Amino acid sequence: NKQEQRATMAGPTPLNKKTIVKKRTKKFARHQSDQFIRIRNSSWRKPKGIDGRVRRRFKGAIPMPSIGYGSDKKTRNVHPSGFKSVVVSNVAELEMLMMHNRTYAATVGHSVSTRVRREIIERAEQLAIRVTNASAKLRAEDDA
């Protein structure tokens, strides 16, 4: 009983134990983003110029994103905790994860009220579903 209680406290363990390996962790820099402040932190855009070194993949030019940089299918979209994340905004949506509690973890939506948030976390404990942001927007009870 003691061991069972401890298991529910920690929550379920992820089913997939494969280690997550990223082929590339750096963001792809936009061509010439180091030269212009206005595009310094902008996202990747494919170069379209007729003479572009990057588009033609010359040696020494910055790398372009391609399908080869993709993650392993088994570890794609997996959180470092080992679970895939599902945004939940009410208790009914949480019930969907009942049979998949070792693959998916619930993330309570940003706009969910404290009252509903408390209900979701309470039900998640009963169903042994991991909640990634369980402590968010919860204050300690003042009424004793």
Q: Give per-residue pLDDT as tens, 27-80.
A: 999 999 999 999 999 999 999 999 999 999 999 999 999 999 999 999 999 999
Tokens of 93: 């949506």
Tokens read off for 37: 């402040």
The number of CA neighbours under 13 Å toward the Cβ of 45 is: 11
Q: Are 108 and 136 in contact (CB under 8 A)?
A: yes
- Mean pLDDT (the chain, rounded): 89
Position 10 scores a pLDDT of: 62
List all residues 6 or more positions away from 97 whose beta carbon is below 8 Å from its beta carbon: 86, 88, 104, 106, 127, 129
CA dist 120 to 26, 84, 90, 128, 132, Å? 36, 18, 7, 12, 12
What does the pLDDT read at residue 13? 86
For the segment 81-109, the average pLDDT, to the nearest whole number, is: 94
Q: What is the pLDDT of residue 48?
A: 97
**Residue 20 near residue 81 (C-beta atoms within 8 A):** no
pLDDT, residue 15, reads 83
Here the tokens at position 14 are: 């992820």
Q: Which residue type, as a one-letter code, is found at position 125?
A: E
Beta-carbon count within 10 A of 83 CB: 26
Q: What is the pTM of this model?
A: 0.77
